[in-house]
Amino acid sequence: MKTILVTGGTGYIGSHTTVELQNAGYKVVIVDNLSNSYPEVIDNIEAISGIRPSFEKIDLIDQQATFGVFEKYPEIEAIIHFAALKAVGESVNMPLDYYKNNLNSLIHVLDAMRKFKVKHIVFSSSCTVYGEPDSLPVNEQAPIKKANSPYGNTKQICEEILQDFRTPHPDINVIALRYFNPIGAHPSALIGELPIGIPNNLIPFITQTAIGIREELKVFGDNYNTADGSAVRDYINVVDLARAHVIAIERLVSKKNKEGFEVFNLGTGKGNSVLEIINTFEKVSGSKLNYKIVGRREGDVEQVYADTKFANDELGWKAEKGIEDTLLSAWKWEQNIKTLKFSDKS
């Protein structure tokens, strides 16, 4: 049984990926400092998969502690590096925290790979690297645009660090996965997105409004050059996304990768506008959403959705879940949160 280190594994995408890795027969070691997640997620992962992942509460900014994980688990064969701070707006106000956390975490993980001879890493990148794309759907060859936030810049710099690291270490294999907009939750409704404080992202804001935690959803802009005037994104189901990580890991450990550094878009290939999402949510949840149109949010792009051909052809991966199923899973999760116990973070 191969062992995979999942950094940020109690987080939103990391928890779903841990379940899929365990379902596929991998042993998972999670490292997380719990800055944006809860220790109870481990119990919920176990409730779904029947297997409790190993867990180390470690801050990857601490190099010695990071090395300690590799000393404790010499069987680690590959890493999926999710751990990062990810709030775009917050990163504008706290740029140093974002650079310090996101860059040092990766650097310490790479240093450990060198020292402990781990050869494979999957890195969580983002469609944010494309900015406002020149043409749609956007493929992996599209130019990287100047980042419009320190968060986005950390993703660009991390991809560069990974490439530079391979120059003296060509035996290290990297897959960078550029996620579009991950949404939804595990069908069990035992794990999902758990924003701390006011959500920045559309779907948790919608579900929190529908359940009465937020009074009103603000739709940021209805004067974009799109069919209904609201902005368009490629919303990808988080379980579909998690499955792609298992395939990426299999590709690396079975040496099926064609290049030492590969990049894949992970999206559905289809764009949905904010208003379409609201309408679909109202339909699947049977609830009316209180929303109002306001001005555009600074830094938002008009529309972005993925060209998924490379991931479809090379990984043999395709998003399977439709938007209705996915929004329903988000709604079931929101309704189930109150039945679950999470430590107080307020």
Q: Give the interface with ligand WQD as residue ranges (CB under 6 A).
A: 86, 88, 126, 128, 181, 200-202, 205, 217-220, 231, 233, 274, 297, 300
233 binds, among ligand WQD, ligand NAD, none (CB under 5 to 8 A by kind): ligand WQD
For residue 300, give Cα distances in angstroms to 69, 149, 151, 297. 38, 11, 14, 6
Q: Which residues are catalytic?
A: 151
Which helix (DSSP H) or strand (DSSP E) does residue 114 occupy?
Answer: helix 104-116
Separation between Cα atoms, residue 307 and residue 292, nearest integer Å: 31
Rounded least distance, CB 255 to ligand NAD, Å: 25
| Piece in contact with ligand NAD (CB under 6 A), picked from 141-149, 160-168, 178-186, 277-285 | 178-186
Give 262's strand partners.
175
For 117, which DSSP code?
Answer: T
For 63, which DSSP code?
Answer: H
Largest CA distance in the chain: 57
Tokens read off for 156: 């660009």
Residue 299 falls in which region: left (phi positive, over 0), alpha (psi -120 to 50) or beta:
left
Q: Look up residue 216 and give its amino acid.
A: E
Taking Cα atoms as reference points, which of 157, 159, 193 lies closest to residue 178? 159
Nearest CB to ligand WQD, comparing residues 75 and 134: 134
32 binds, among ligand NAD, ligand WQD, none (CB under 5 to 8 A by kind): ligand NAD
**Which of 69, 83, 174, 252 is close enough to bind ligand NAD by CB under 6 A?**
83
179 binds ligand NAD (CB under 6 A): yes
| Piece in contact with ligand NAD (CB under 6 A), picked from 84-92, 216-224, 249-257, 286-294 | 84-92
Nearest CB to ligand WQD, comparing residues 53 and 271: 271
**Which of 126, 265, 285, 329 is close enough to bind ligand NAD by CB under 6 A?**
126
59 binds, among ligand NAD, ligand WQD, none (CB under 5 to 8 A by kind): ligand NAD
105 binds ligand NAD (CB under 6 A): yes
Rounded least distance, CB 47 to ligand NAD, Å: 18
Rounded least distance, CB 217 to ligand WQD, Å: 6
**Which of 4, 5, 10, 247 is close enough to bind ligand NAD by CB under 6 A?**
10
Rounded least distance, CB 346 to ligand WQD, Å: 21
Rounded least distance, CB 10 to ligand NAD, Å: 5
Tokens read off for 219: 């739709």
Taking Cα atoms as reference points, which of 317, 326, 170 lies closest to residue 245? 317
24-51 residues labelled b (16+ CB within 10 A) or e (exposed): eebbbbbbbbbebbbeebbebbbebbee
Nearest CB to ligand WQD, comparing residues 51 and 289: 289
The gap between the terminal CA atoms of the chain, to the nearest Å, is 39
Separation between Cα atoms, residue 152 and residue 89, nearest integer Å: 11
Nearest CB to ligand WQD, comparing residues 218 and 270: 218
Taking Cα atoms as reference points, which of 102, 128, 122, 104 lies closest to residue 182? 128
124 binds ligand NAD (CB under 6 A): yes
61 binds ligand NAD (CB under 6 A): yes
